[in-house]
Amino acid sequence: MKKIVILISGRGSNMQAIVQASQSQQWPAQIAAVISNKPDAAGLAYAASQGIPTMVVESKAFQNRESFDTALQQAIDSFQADLVVLAGFMRILTPQFVQHYENRIMNIHPSLLPSFVGLHTHQQALDAGVKFHGATVHFVTAELDHGPIIDQACVRIEHADTEESLAQKLLVKEHQIYPRAVRLFVEGKLVVEGNRVIVNGSEADSCAI
Ligand code: GRF
């Protein structure tokens, strides 16, 4: 049984999709804990309702990034996590922290990386006038919103689309690709070769529109 610790900062709908998939598909894995850096994160209630241990490591209570990351690492490691899943976790992590979980920490970013890193990705896509937008699941490296890409999904940008409508359309795709990527990890099917992620001998899925 692989142990997964999920980090959230807010709503936690991706966390919920992962928890549900792990239960309905009977993964060889256990969601060992859901940890939030914000005490009022809505997702904590859902996790607790599923009998998953929850914990708050409040980022505001720490004086600097290093001390917060050290406390967070201790919390994660107390659950003996094999995999750390960032699901709407709104913190920049120190290189030391990321290094500690090399190739066993993943994130979902709401753009087709390497385009549109950082915040407000839907607006960035609209401003750039691109015809496709998407989401990316990737292993986390020290560079923000970079790292070997595990899977991506796309949506077509229509003339009437807004930041809100794109976010809504994309969330549906996020809830498909993120649980799938986590499942591939717990099944031991992901191999990182340089910047590429290989799934069972073939490269990860092509863009699923
Ligand atoms: C998602 O859009 C995700 O891509 C981004 O933050 C949002 C989190 O949503 N990293 P939720 O908390 O999983 O509902």
What is the set of active-site residues? 109
Of 191, 186, 194, 187, nearest in space to 203 by CA? 191
179 C-beta closer than 6 A to ligand 1: no
Per residue of the chain (209 residues), what is the pLDDT tens digit? 999 999 999 999 999 999 999 999 999 999 999 999 999 999 999 999 999 999 999 999 999 999 999 999 999 999 999 999 999 999 999 999 999 999 999 999 999 999 999 999 999 999 999 999 999 999 999 999 999 999 999 999 999 999 999 999 999 999 999 999 999 999 999 999 999 999 986 655 555 55
Q: Provide the 3-class DSSP secondary structure of residue 178.
A: helix
CA distance 196 to 87: 22
Choosing from 9, 13, 14, 38 the residue with most ligand 1 atoms within 8 A of its CB, the one to mutate for a pocket test is 14
pTM tops 0.85, yes or no: yes
Ligand 1 centroid–CA 109 distance in Å is 8
Residue nearest to atom 6 of ligand 1 (CA): 88
